[in-house]
Amino acid sequence: MAEQANKSAATGRRKTAVARAELVPGSGSWKVNKRELKEYFPSEAMRTYIEQPLQITNTVEKYDVIARLKGGGISGQAGALRHAVARALAADDPSLREVLKNSGCLTRDARMKERKKAGQPGARKRFQFSKR
């Protein structure tokens, strides 16, 4: 029951993906939707991107991460998870906030897919103009 008090949680978002991450003091293991990080994100580059907040703050071996991801694609989920982990770290230890902010980990990536407009084939694309 004492571990529950040390746990910090945060929500991260990117595109249409939402990630809920919990940081529990531990040995550095990851559980993403009840699967291992390596299994859920097979790409090494994506795993490096997700682990960036822990690498920057030198807390890789200090916390176990339990995450639940919903919506979006693999890239959006990776960005949401990175955002959630950074926010949970900042909530747990306010002294890490400045380091995370300067590296861009706490910034929510606001780029979203633009909606399709009525009378057009896409968001920006137009039908071919014909004068006659």
Q: Is residue 108 part of a domain?
A: no
Residue 130 domain-assigned (yes or no): no
Q: Is residue 90 part of a domain?
A: yes
Q: Which among 90, 23, 17 has a CA at the least distance from the CA of 63? A: 23
**85: in domain:** yes
Is residue 29 in some structural domain?
Answer: yes
Q: What is the mean pLDDT of residues 114-124?
A: 95
Query: What CATH number does residue 50 fall under?
Result: 3.30.230.10
Q: What residue numbers bound the domain in which 60 lies?
A: 2-102
pLDDT band at 6, cuts 50/70/90? Answer: confident
- Helices 44-56 & 74-92, crossing angle to 10 degrees? 10
Q: What are the tokens at 63? A: 């916390």
31 within a domain of the structure (yes/no)? yes
Q: How many structural domains does the chain have?
A: 1
E strands present in the chain? 8-14, 17-25, 30-32, 35-36, 63-70
Q: What is the pLDDT of residues 86-118, one digit of tens each?
A: 999 999 999 999 999 999 999 999 999 999 999
* Residue 19, in any domain of the structure: yes
**Percent of the chain at pLDDT exceeding 70:** 96
For residue 7, the model assigns a pLDDT of 87
How far is residue 4's CA from residue 80's CA, in Å, rounded to a whole number? 24
